[in-house]
Amino acid sequence: MNQKKAILVVSFGTSHVDTLEKTIGAIEHAIAAHFPEYRVYRAFTSRMIIGKLKRVEGIEVDTVKAAMERMLIDGIDTVLVQPTHIINGIENDSMLEDLLEYADRFERVRVGKPLLSSPEDYKKAIHAVMEDVSLEEDEALVLMGHGSDHHANAAYPMLEYTFHLLGYHQVLVGTVEGFPNLRDVMGKLKISDFHKIKLMPFMMVAGDHAKNDMAGEDDSWKCEMEEEGYEVDAVLKGLGELDGIHKILIEHIEEIE
């Protein structure tokens, strides 16, 4: 291994240790296996999650700036940065701002794209999801994304459009904090013939939003759908568990190598 070359994997993060290694950890392992000549580092963009992990679990994770400083100390001269972010949104913008400060402190710093960055990315992500999902004839798949007030939130309606373009008309996409929201999803379900719903997060990790907002026993998407008479199967599985998603992120690193 060339100790002067590194890949920094940047994630929003999660304080749920049960999903951390199954998703973010799995992505990092896949990247390390594909690029054995690089040393792999981890950074989270959420300071709140970094603080909670240290306080509750005793796990220390670097911020982006702390990771860059660590790599300088370790003698790294070439840094490839790959975010696990879904969209080119607020967290990705924040990461890029932090990285700008270090552009001239290494011989080479290159940054890969988030998961959904090109039409081909959308198609590959969709195939990765559908290869992992088994649906009955009268069952819809509802995917819950995070959502944002950032203009990059347009990725979510485009995602649903692309599902339908590829022939997956039984798939609907909603977001917790953006458009389309749960009301929009429920409106579409009401004019459909589906009686069963498979509910899954379209997020890298199946953390707080998936466990509470999506599948919780109180005031969740699952509860609201069940109140409307649907039979709901909530699946707590993050995108980071899917090999097809790992492959997209690895391809994004290959583009900047």
**Amino acid (one-letter) located at 6:** A
Burial of residue 110 (number of CB atoms within 10 Å: 0-12, 13-18, 19+) = middle
DSSP annotation string for 20-67: HIIIIIHHHHHHHHH-TTSEEEEEES-HHHHHHIIIII----B-HHHH
Angle at which helices 26-34 and 243-256 pack, to 10 degrees?
50
Q: Which two tokens stand for residue 230?
A: 């649907």
Through-space distance between the first and last CA atoms of the chain, rounded to whole angstroms? 16
Name every residue whose Cβ is closer than 8 Å to that of residue 18 and which is 6 or more positions away in sequence.
none
183: exposed, middle or buried (Cβ count in 10 Å: 0-12, 13-18, 19+) = exposed
DSSP category for residue 257: -
Q: What CA–CA distance (Å, rounded) separates 99 from 110?
A: 10
Among this protein's residues, is 146 annotated catalytic? yes
Contact 199, 235 (CB under 8 A): yes
Residue type, 27: I
Handedness of CA 58, 81, 24, 146 (dihedral sign): positive
Task: Choose the catalytic residue: 29, 34, 85, 146.
Answer: 146
Positions marked catalytic: 146
